[in-house]
Structure 1
Amino acid sequence: MSSTAGPQPQARTTASRPGGEDGPARLCAREPHVPAERLVAELVPPPRFGGARFSTYHPDPAQPSQREAVERLSSFAGGLGDGGDGPSGLRGLFRRRAKAAAPAGPRGMYLDGGYGVGKTHLLASLWHAAPAAPGRKAFGTFVELTHLVGALGFQQTVRTLSDHQLLCIDEFELDDPGDTVLVSSLLGKLVEAGVALAATSNTLPGKLGEGRFAAADFLREIQGLAAHFQPLRIDGEDYRHRGLPQAPEPGDDAEVTRAAHATPGASLDDFPALLDHLSRVHPSRYGALCEGVDAVCLRGVTPVPDQSTALRLVVLADRLYDREIPVLASGVPFDRLFSEEMLRGGYRKKYFRAISRLTALAREAKHLPEG
């Protein structure tokens, strides 16, 4: 399998391409179906981080841990081997030796830190720096990885990823016990096959699941996951807000509607209807939901009503940010999407990340035509 070989299978949707003769498309009218082979082919850094390199990461001089992270990850990439293209060559010899003698110590790097310190940039830089060919290294979010298992089955996922040099997992979180057991088993198999691991999260590996479910009941699996990684702490403030003006105030419904009609490739949806639609689309398909969209326009943004809805919105915010799609909205500002109770709970770091990313996308929407 190679992510660069031949035309890639496309997601199918029931909506016309945004910006057509009938005006803006509606995300609510889209029902993407993503074939399993596309899930594998798209295990590469998203567009926002397609050009990410260690040289383009700018450490904050006031945060020594950021420069240290670049140095340690560069060294980690350099130690990954020659990146041969198949099990029959040197790569295969390395994998057979890895199976014969289990590696001493963790074979993974775990980037822990607050939102906006550049963890995804560094993870993507590691992927690009790894010497393997694109088809022998994978990059995906945690939810994309778990959905890959659902689409291919556990054993086929193990076979598909076992000949890889490196697996990068962004936004590593354990939200339920099933994911804990699934990912623990999968990563254990991949480490046995000689696959190196790297992950980002806002939670130390030994603390995954805290505040979300009875983590103590799954302590063995959580400790097993932690054993695969060397934690790498990255401190700092959110770079998306460093020295930037405050996020623009939301417009009114009429302004958003006019901008959607004046912007080629824009979509236009009422926020409550979009939240309802997200409940019927698997989060792993939210990227396909936004395919071909150049701007998202939302009318009537309100605080989200419950935790399940909020977590789906977090995933959508991540996919919009990955794809550099600006968001223009009316209603409440994005920093009022989540209740105080949510911002104090076990998912608070996810919600702060979503606020940060949506605010950045709202700034980018300032350049849309006003109609």
Structure 2
Amino acid sequence: MRLSDRDPQVGADELVDAMVPPPRFDDVSFDSYIPNPDEPSQAAAVKACQAFVERVGARKKRWSLFGRSEDEGKPGLYLDGGFGVGKTHLLASIWHSVPGPKAYGTFVEVTNLVGVLGFVEAVKRLSEHRLLAIDEFELDDPGDTMLVTRLLKELTAAGVFVAATSNTLPDKLGEGRFAAADFLREIQTVSAKFDVVRVDGPDYRHRGLPDAPPPMSDGELTTRAESMPGATLDDFDELCAALARIHPSRYGRLVDGVTAVHLRDVKAAPDQAVALRLVAFGDRLYDRDVPVAVSGRPLSDLFSEEMLRGGYRKKYLRAVSRLVALSRPS
């Protein structure tokens, strides 16, 4: 079975219904989040998230021409920190703790929802929710910046609370990626919606664990893939071409039912566009806890040193962290 032969489709209504935490985070809670005793910000973040949940739960829907009253505080909570500190665990715990209606999605899934439904219809549907949780919040281009500014303004005015995770402080969004200074007002508008909670610490996925296993030979990789029911085997270049024709919001559907992914002749991403698609693809594999095995270059070499020095450095490091974790023998 090859991922590059698949053509996943997701309808508009299904997009809305599917806005729930990914399978990896089906059963998480604040109780199952174990703060690192050496990082006090983690325990403090749990308390901040629980306080936010209480505010959301106590909210009474109020429609007003003037939006939210001042005494209600900021409508958003923004979890900022490095990769592997449990921000997504905390975001999903918020979602599970809040009564519905509610929606959860990655940043790219939320922006795609607006693209599919249209802005007015997306606002209409999401305005009926008590909470919108956005994972991997990032402004990668001017279009996203303008869209998200308008969306958050409309939703928070309608009484929707927003919780988000990111590797970048809200007033630094877009930095190093486009002419962010030209959109400073929009970025500041987004930032003003959130109380920022810092979550520090080392990447839990790699505490005391060995490095990723070395790549297999092509023959070993093929034998392994053929021995596993539900596994896929793709040439790396062909998978990259397939990811280019599939919207990133459908990458989750692409790997539904897959038990393991095998990639032959892995090499460094040739350009930024391919690299960012691989980040989104890796995130969906991690969400679903799908093991990964490769031949060619190791997964730690997916992104060049030049890319790792650029504006998407944090995204690339997060992707490497997650993919290496998936490549370790269980």
Same fold (TM over 0.5): yes
Distance 2:164 2:70 in 1: 18
Are 2:62 and 1:95 equivalent residues in the alignment? yes
Report the residue type matching 1:309 in the other structure.
V
- Please, which of 2, 10, 16 is the counterpart of residue 40 of structure 1? 16
Q: Is the 8 A contact 1:98 1:193 kept in 2?
A: no
Question: One-letter code of the match for 1:274?
Answer: L
In structure 1, the partner of 2:213 is 248
Q: Look up the match of 1:86.
A: none
- Aligned pairs for 1:94-243 within 5 A: 94-96=61-63, 101-104=68-71, 105-130=73-98, 132-133=99-100, 136-243=101-208
CA contact (8 A) 1:99 1:194 kept: no
How far the C-alpha of 1:247 sits from its partner, in A, is 1.5
Letter in 1 for 2:185: R
Q: Secondary structure at the match of 1:80?
A: helix
Report the alpha carbon displacement of residue 291 of structure 1 after superposing the two structures with TM: 1.4
Shift of residue 95, structure 1, vs aligned partner: 2.6
* Residues 304-342 of structure 1: per-residue CA shift (max 9 Å, x gap): 111110000000000000011111111111111111110
Q: Secondary structure at the match of 1:56?
A: coil
Asked if residue 332 in structure 1 is aligned to residue 305 in structure 2, the reply is no
Aligned letter for 1:314? Answer: V
1:279-294 alignment runs, 5 A limit: 279-294=244-259
Matched-pair contact (CA < 8 Å) for 1:296–1:326 = yes
Q: Secondary structure at the match of 1:276?
A: helix
Determine the structure 2 residue equivalent to 1:9.
none
Q: What SS does structure 1 have at the residue aligned with 2:62?
A: helix
Report if aligned partners of 2:67, 2:157 keep a CA contact under 8 Å in 1.
no
Structure 2 residue 39 is matched with structure 1 residue 74: no
Contact 1:169 1:199 in 2 (8 A): yes
CA distance in 1 between partners of 2:217 and 2:209 (Å):
24
Offset, 1:96: 2.2
* More deviation, 239-248/350-359: 239-248
SS of residue matched to 2:36? coil
Amino acid at match of 2:78: Y
User: Structure 1 residues 336 and 102, CA, compared in 2 at 3 Å: closer, same or farther?
Assistant: same
* 3-state SS, counterpart of residue 91 of structure 2: helix
Aligned twin of 1:26: 2
Corresponding residue of 1:17: none
Aligned counterparts of 2:306 and 2:32: Cα–Cα separation in 1: 37
Kindly provide the CA deviation profile for residues 154-199 of structure 1, in whole angstroms up to 9, marking residues without a partner as x. 0000010101111110000111000000000001000000001110
Amino acid in structure 2 at the alignment position of 1:205: P
1:110/1:100 Cα in 2 relative to 1: closer, same or farther (>3 Å)?
A: closer
1:257-314 Cα offsets, whole Å, 9 max, x none, are: 1111110110110111111111111111111111111111111111111111000000
Superposition deviation, residue 103 in structure 1: 3.9
Within 2, Cα distance between the matches of 1:176 and 1:345? Answer: 15
Match of 2:273 in 1: 308
Aligned to 2:144, the other structure's residue is in SS state helix
TM-aligned CA distance change 1:100 to 1:301, over 3 Å: closer
Q: Which runs of 5+ in 2 are unaligned?
A: none
> How much has 1:110 moved relative to structure 2?
0.4
Read off the aligned partner of 2:63 and give its amino acid letter.
Answer: R
TM-score by length of structure 1 reads 0.87
CA contact under 8 A between 1:158 and 1:190: conserved in structure 2? yes
Q: Equivalent residue for 1:4?
A: none
Equivalent AA in structure 2 for residue 102 of structure 1:
S
Q: Does 1:264 align with 2:226?
A: no
Corresponding pairs, count: 329
Contact 1:166 1:195 in 2 (8 A): yes
Contact 1:28 1:269 in 2 (8 A): yes
Deviation >4 Å, runs of 4+:
97-101
Conserved 8 A contact 1:265-1:294: yes
The one-letter amino acid paired with 2:149 is S
Report the AA paired with residue 146 of structure 1: T
